[in-house]
Amino acid sequence: MTRTLSGAVYVAIVVCSIFLGKWTDNALLGNAVFACVFFAIGIIGIYEYVHNLELKGVKSNKPMAFIAGIATYVALTIFPNYGTCSDPITLYYFAMIMVGLVPVLYLTTFLVQLWHNDSEPFTTVGHTLLPSIWIMTPLALLNEVQSVGAGLTMMIFILIWVNDSFAYMTGMLLGKHKMWERHSPNKTWEGTIGGVVFCIAAAIFVGPLFYPHILIMGWAIIGLICSVVGTLGDLIESMFKRYCGVKDSGNIMPGHGGVLDRFDSILMAVPFVLLFLGIIYM
């Protein structure tokens, strides 16, 4: 019951943030709420990352991890959309400042280590900046997907959920050959293939209902991307948890774990889907 209720709240937050603009007929409000919701998710994700490293006894510069992550999200969220503002010139210069601030903060992370007595300074820098790349950048790019169409954003989540669900069910019924036991002992090749098949099928038959501007072949490729790359994202997060020696990345979602547990596939799939869309619509 706890897992079900927690999952229902998670789905409700995602769906409402995606479609609020359409439901209220206020795109500005919808985009702002969407950006704020996934910004909050990113902040929690950074906390889970640095907290689990602490449990492992691995150093990171926590303040710089949050500052760099915030700057990365704001820059990548605002800059592509400055032209839609009522005062685009002002927002353009603000966006340019934020874009310039990101590499300055990244380089400052290196400079700070000059004053720290750290035996592994580059390891500390790597763990400080990785959340900006792994967590905040994909969540910021999700805003770009949302600007293309709320239905497209919803379909990415649906495809990830379909892949996870049917990979689990197929693996339970037919799974015999372990896929990557070192990182995820329960994943099987049979389950993974089942997830791919059902994910592509869902993309082909359901995708056009949510976003009809993409051809069937395009949806099939998006389904393949979400399944394959999403599964790899899940394995990467499992590798991180094994490295830190924890079962779940956090406990903010009872029965489901933390933000990284729920968004691991999304974090990996979104940039690849956006890249594919950019290529086909060039």
- How many Cβ atoms sit within 10 Å of the Cβ of residue 189? 15
Residue with tokens 């995606």: 18
Cα 208 to the center of its chain, rounded Å: 23
Cα–Cα distance for residue pair 251/228, rounded to 1 Å: 27
Summarize pLDDT for 117-126 with one digit per residue, the tens. 888 899 999 9
Q: How many domains does the chain have?
A: 1
Q: What type of residue sits at position 219?
A: W
Summarize pLDDT for 253-264 with one digit per residue, the tens. 877 788 999 999
- Which residues is 184 bridged to in the sheet? 180
The ranges of the chain with pLDDT < 70 are 79-95, 98-99, 175, 180-183, 185, 282
Residue with tokens 């685009």: 88
Q: 16: domain range? A: 2-280
Summarize pLDDT for 222-250 with one digit per residue, the tens. 999 999 999 999 999 999 999 999 988 88
Q: Which helix (H) or strand (E) holds 179?
A: strand 178-180
Would you say 52 and 244 are in contact if contact means Cβ atoms under 8 Å apart?
yes
